């Protein structure tokens, strides 16, 4: 009788120090309160970067991202700005320069999801989506 019992070796992961390759760099990540932007902001913080977590709505979610970055040992702050507004963008850059100095990294991640197929979008819906491109 053949038993199907397998003993697998125990997995041992090597101890690898976190490499903070972006120490003293400053990043702005637009649309950083959720999704891909959140993941990018957290990864930049883990690599040592100072991070501006940009959001349009949902300051609580943005503050959660800031807390996660700061728990990893980097500096971060949340900044509300609509990236389709030049005045908001200028205000955001000024806030980052005031907090950290120069901006070294810009991740243009902000986006707007429209649940309408392109062919069914109104001109106003398309213009709102395309201002972020």
The DSSP symbol for 116 reads: S
The domain spans of the chain are: 26-130
The per-residue pLDDT for range 48-83, each reduced to its tens digit, is: 999 999 999 999 999 999 999 999 999 999 999 999
Two tokens, residue 75: 């500096």
Model confidence at 93, in pLDDT bands (50, 70, 90)?
very high
Q: What is the pLDDT of residue 124?
A: 80
Q: Provide mean pLDDT across the span 91-98.
A: 98
DSSP, collapsed to helix, strand or coil, labels residue 84 as coil
Rounded Cα distance, 64 and 61, in Å: 5
Rounded Cα distance, 45 and 25, in Å: 10
The per-residue pLDDT for range 96-131, each reduced to its tens digit, is: 999 999 999 999 998 766 666 767 778 887 676 666
Q: What is the pLDDT of residue 120?
A: 79
The per-residue pLDDT for range 3-27, each reduced to its tens digit, is: 566 788 888 888 887 789 999 999 9
What is the architecture of the domain spanning 26-130?
3-Layer(aba) Sandwich (3.40)
Two tokens, residue 106: 């810009």
Does the pTM exceed 0.75? yes
Q: What is the pLDDT of residue 49?
A: 97
């Amino acid at each position: 009788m053949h038993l199907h019992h397998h003993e697998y070796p125990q997995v041992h992961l090597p101890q690898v120090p976190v490499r903070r390759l972006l120490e003293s760099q400053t990043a702005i990540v637009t649309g950083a309160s959720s999704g891909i932007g959140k993941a990018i902001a957290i990864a930049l913080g883990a690599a040592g970067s100072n991070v501006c977590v940009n959001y349009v709505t949902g300051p609580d979610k943005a503050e959660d991202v800031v807390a996660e970055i700061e728990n990893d040992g980097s500096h971060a702050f949340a900044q509300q700005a609509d990236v389709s507004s030049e005045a908001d963008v200028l205000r955001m850059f000024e806030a980052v320069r005031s907090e950290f100095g120069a901006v070294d990294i810009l991740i243009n991640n902000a986006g707007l999801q429209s649940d309408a197929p392109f062919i069914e979008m109104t001109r106003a819906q398309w213009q709102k989506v395309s201002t972020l491109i």
